[in-house]
Amino acid sequence: MWVSVDLCVVPIGVGVSLSPYVATCEKVIRATGLTHQLGPNGTAIEGPWDAVMECVRACHDALHAMGAPRIYTTLKLNTRIDREQSFLDKVASVEQQLQG
């Protein structure tokens, strides 16, 4: 099954600056080859269900390896079986509506 997710991974107990952890997670995501887009409050990722879930797990593993004792994650999931639609297609659809 194809899935599109919004992933927000927040390490707890590591101080105020989270950018080193976000950068590490971004490197993990890039290494998967999955389509993704970094945003200000999370990352959109899409691909086969198992590959995306493995990516989420790999992000957790990498941040724990950096010393994060706890991680709080929010994950919004979107699946669709009636047609294929990427997250970029969804954004383009809304932008088209704004033109009208």
Asked whether 75 and 7 are in contact (CB, 8 A), the reply is yes
Q: What's the confidence (pLDDT) of residue 27?
A: 98
Maximum separation of any 2 CA atoms in the chain, in Å: 50
Residue 56: predicted pLDDT: 98
∠ CA 83-49-19, nearest 5°, is 115
Secondary structure of residue 8 in the 3-state scheme: strand
Using the predicted structure, report yes or no on whether residue 48 has a pLDDT greater than 90.
yes
Domain ranges of the chain: 2-99
Model confidence at 33: pLDDT above 90: yes
What's the pLDDT at 87? 80
- Per CATH, domain 2-99 is 3.40.640.10: no
Of the candidates 28, 39, 27, the residue with the CA atom closest to the CA atom of residue 74? 39
Prediction pTM value = 0.89
User: Over 80: is that where the pLDDT of 6 sits?
Assistant: yes
Say if residue 100's pLDDT is above 80: no
Q: What is the dihedral of CA 17, 21, 22, 25, to 10 degrees?
A: 180
